[in-house]
Amino acid sequence: MRAADPHHIADAFLDMPLVDLHDHSCGVVDDIELAEIEPGIWELAAILVGPGAWRRRRPRWLTALLPKLKAVRIAKADIASATQVVRLMRPAAEVGLATTERRLLALMGGR
Amino acid sequence: MKPLELTLGILTAVGGFVDISELVFVSQAGARFGYALIWVIVLATVGIIVFGEMSGRIAAVSRQPMFTIIRKELGLTLGGVTLIGGLVSTLVTCAAEIGGVALVLQLLTGGSYLLLAALATTVFAASIWLLPFKWIERSYGLLGLVMLVFAAALLALDPPWSHIAAGLVPRVPAGLSQQDMLVYGYFVVALISAIMFPYELYFYSSGGVEDAWSKADLSTNRVTSIVGMSLGALMAIVLLCLAAQELGPRGISPEQVGAVVLQPGLAFGKLGVILGLLGILTAVAGAAIETCLANAYAVSQFFGWRWGRHRPPQDTPLFTLAWLVVFALALALVCTGVEVTDLADYAVVLSIVVLPLSFLPLLLAGNDPVLMRDQVNGPWSRRLGWLFYGLVVLAAVAAVPLYLLTLGGKL
């Protein structure tokens, strides 16, 4: 997605639920990376997922209180579509999402 | 619209409408102020119908549950504040429901309160784990219809219909002292909160998404929310009228569940008391399960975990862990020895404070033509939505000062 106003890209992606190739929920878009592809034109470069990506968005006092947390970076090339949800082109495991959930699934024998 | 599904949906809504906070507050309101607060029940019911229908419509059109909408509309920080507020208020409500169930079981069996609370929580957890979701929803909702014994008792006791009708008109009773006026104000706020609990919408909207509602289900959503919640509100009015007629004049303050179940006994003797206890037991048990699941839905949707009760628990591990933790924390709260009525007090005050943050995203999403397309809020939904939003904000601002000034309505 390209736009002259980066806020339009942020509105379209931030806080959108993520589903992977198998239609499983695997997080929420916590932050985005933008690239200025030509003067005044911005494009989505990647989405960031996980508490580590909250750094720019949460109050400073909270950032100071929380330890350094992990964020997963998903490049634009791995995003299939973005409408009501952001759909990925690969399974969550391949892009490193939903790690705790996958560990628990294995533990509990879920699918 | 499938007639059987619709009828069951309505009956479930009626049976599931009453919870421990409503029981406590409508009975206290009736005993203390007679029929003068009936209008608040009617007003708050219209409010919950407006927002309930809106949340169901948003779920059907956008396929998004409430906390996904809340996070998208309010963003990470304010959405996070709403999540924490919603989790705390709903956890306290869940604890109040578990305590209420334990009290009723104690009245029925004479057993230990804490042991019965632990037993009830285990049964709730087992039924969520083992039973299909529809069975849970329908069985607790439909069994809650035993509460109709209260309506039968009111009819049998020949109520003063003219006084009841007068209670439908908003007014402050004449001759109240300044202190009574404050308590009256507290009950207005508490009744609004008890009827418009945010967990009801978290639960309803998530159910719509789980049932894969589409535009074809919009009529079912409309009829279920309007008819089901209206009939549920009638039950609340019945409880208030019974307390106004039978408890207030005798100087009985229904601060304990036991006083509330006396009422069908006045009309039908021992059988009435037993049916009243069973009705309250199932209605409050259903509410305990709803509140627990509502919290698990909220946290799972906010963080994008797999969620839902239509899937086996092991396929939604974090969601499953979430509702197990909610039950454990709620039981721990009960075990601290806090009175059920105090828990109900905290629940309504905390909930009303969270309500404006929970309802605003719904209004914004319902008014968004890009998200809702041809199902965007019409002029009446929009007007009523903002009107009730204003009312909820006023109630939220007044709630804590009134609670402190009236010692939770106990002055």
* CATH classification of the domain holding B335: 1.20.1740.10
Q: Are B318 and B42 in contact (CB under 8 A)?
A: no
Name the residue among B68, B301, B318 with its Cβ closest to that of A104: B318
Domain count of the fold of chain B: 1
The label of the residue with tokens 């705390």 reads B88
Determine, yes or no, domain membership for B411: no
Give the residue from chain A lying closest to B307, CA to CA.
A25
Is A109 in contact with B321 (Cβ distance < 8 A)? no
**A84/B63 touch (CB, cutoff 8 Å), yes or no:** yes
In a domain, B395, yes or no: yes
Neighbours of B314 (CB within 10 A): 15
Question: Does the structure show a pLDDT above 90 at A31?
Answer: yes
**Ordered DSSP codes for B1-25:** --HHHHHHHHHHHHHTT--HHHHHH
Contact B317 A54 (CB under 8 A): no
Question: pLDDT of chain B along its 411 residues, tens only?
Answer: 566 666 656 656 665 678 888 888 899 999 999 999 999 999 999 999 999 999 999 999 999 999 999 999 999 999 999 999 999 999 999 999 999 999 999 999 999 999 999 999 999 999 999 988 778 777 777 787 888 899 999 999 999 999 999 999 998 888 899 999 999 999 999 999 999 988 988 988 998 898 899 999 999 899 888 988 888 899 999 999 999 998 888 888 777 777 787 788 989 999 999 999 998 898 899 889 989 999 999 999 999 999 998 888 999 999 999 999 999 999 999 999 999 989 998 999 999 999 999 999 999 999 999 999 999 999 999 999 999 999 999 999 999 999 999 998 888
Interface size, chain A vs chain B, as Cβ–Cβ contacts under 8 Å: 61
Q: What pLDDT, on a 0 to 100 scale, did the predictor assign at position B16? A: 60
- Please name the residue ranges forming H helices in B304-339: 317-335
What are the tokens at B385? Answer: 């939505």
CA distance B251 to B49: 35
- Domain residue limits at B279: 3-406
> Which residues sit opposite A74 in a β-bridge?
A47
Residue B65 touches chain A, beta carbons under 8 Å: no
Assess if residue B177 is contained within a domain. Answer: yes
B82 assigned to some structural domain: yes
Looking at the complex, report in whole angstroms how far the Cα of residue A84 sits from the nearest Cα belonging to chain B.
7
Give the pLDDT confidence of B320-333 residue by residue, as tens digits: 999 999 999 999 99
Q: List, in sequence order, every residue forming a beta bridge with A82; answer none if it has no partner.
A: A86
Cβ-based contacts of B62 with chain A (< 8 Å) = 84
Q: Do A110 and B303 touch (CB under 8 A)?
A: no
ipTM score assigned to the predicted complex: 0.93
